[in-house]
Amino acid sequence: MVNLHPYWADLHGQSEETCGTNTIEDYFTFARDCALLDICAHQGNDFEITDDLWKTINRITKKFNERGEFVTFPVYDWIGNTPLGGDRNDDFASEGGHITRSSTELLPGKHSKYEDSPTAAKLFKNLKRQRIETFVFAHVGGRYAELSTHDSDAELAVEIHSAWGTFEWLLEDALKRGYRIGVCGNSDGHKCRPGASYPGATTFGSLGGLTCILSERLDRRSILQALKSMHFYATTGNRSLIDVQVKTEDGRSAMMGDRIQIGTEIPILHVNAVGTAPIESITVRNGLDTLKTLRPYRDNELSNRVKILWGGAEVMGRARIVQWDGH
């Protein structure tokens, strides 16, 4: 079996060139030297990225990419309104891809040499015509992704946690539709702190998420292959290590993201989880159904304390934050 290594990624955030703070170079420098990320991408809003800025993003992304040390991808954020498809992260495997925006309304002269993609369906069509490999994540930002439009070859994951909050309902929506899709977490931060995006402003009330990518090597080709194989998982910002395998009676095994054909025998699920704090529980699900909740303690080890959690959002859209005050 190939020896895979966990590499930590934040593939979603902005700088002052669009609607964040500090420069793109500051963004990648913080990710590499302060947050100690292995993989990073800069994602500006498509309707704010001029043709010249797209060239700059590609140039700086290439400058910071260093095989075996720090992997970067040229990326932009497709910002379609939810009825048109909602927010999608559009990633290129290397430089030279053509940006295809949701709109050019805010560009100088409302003009670009690149073709627009006003809907998610057109976006997937235009991305497939690129000479550079692409991959897409659906997410919840200022708008939320509407998943009735989906391309299984291009759209690899749903982003279920960011500085905007936790959105497991987006994964549940994908599962209800029968999609086979991965799960990622990123910061979507605007404060130039990829990999360590702490809450502060009320619209960014959560610690930014991370994606752990299980790859043989730290280079673009290996990371892209790991993403396409769905060898990755999301966290809410902590760096917990998780190993999940299924083993069959005839000696076969499959890891996270793999497909395996099983007959009438009962497979055994093996989970090894190492957290950054004591583990409260592990829930095993089959799609939307909960099969079992595992806890690392027995009933007679509990004290008389009661833990109460508040969480959730009032709406799917931008005004989703709830001020939970404990009443």
Query: Taking the domains of the chain in order of start, what are their residue ranges?
Result: 5-239, 243-296
Residue 321 clears pLDDT 80, i.e. is over it: no
The string of pLDDT tens digits covering residues 252-297 is 999 999 999 988 889 999 999 999 999 999 999 999 999 999 998 8
pLDDT over threshold 70, residue 113: yes
Adjacency order of strands within the sheet including 253-255: 253-255, 241-247, 268-274
Q: Show the 3-state SS of 141-200.
A: CCCECCCCCCCCCCEEEEEEEECCEECHHHHHHHHHCCCCCEEEECCCECCCCCCCCCCC
Residue 322 predicted with pLDDT over 90: no
Q: What does the mean pLDDT of the chain come to?
A: 93
Report the Cα–Cα distance between both ends of the chain, in Å, rounded: 52
Minimum mean pLDDT among 27-41, 191-205, 277-291, 304-318: which range? 304-318
pLDDT of residue 202: 65
Rounded Cα gap, residues 37 and 209, in angstroms: 12
Q: Which helix or strand (DSSP H or E) is residue 127 part of?
A: helix 120-128
Q: What is the DSSP string of 282-320?
A: EEEEETTEEEEEE-SS-GGG--S---------S-SSTT-
pLDDT at 203 exceeding the cut of 80: no
**Position 1 confidence tier, pLDDT thresholds 50, 70, 90:** low
The predicted model gives 5-23 an average pLDDT of 94
Q: What is the pTM assigned to this prediction?
A: 0.94
Residues 69-108 pLDDT 10s: 999 999 999 999 999 999 999 999 999 999 999 999 889 9
Which residue, 158, 219, 211, 213, is CA-closest to 183? 158
Q: CB of 141 within 8 A of CB of 162? A: yes
Q: Which residue has the higher pLDDT, 142 or 83?
A: 83
The phi-psi region of residue 51 (left if phi > 0; otherwise alpha if psi is between -120 and 50; otherwise beta) is: alpha
Measure the CA angle with vertex 193, ends 218 and 234; round to 5°. Answer: 55
Instruction: Inform me whether the pLDDT recorded for 327 exceeds 70.
Output: no
pLDDT at 317: 78
Q: Which of 121-135, 258-272, 311-325 has the lowest mean pLDDT?
A: 311-325
Between these two residues, 314 and 106, which has the higher pLDDT value?
A: 106
Instruction: Give 5-239's CATH code, choosing from 3.40.50.1100, 2.40.50.140, 3.30.1110.20, 3.20.20.140.
Output: 3.20.20.140
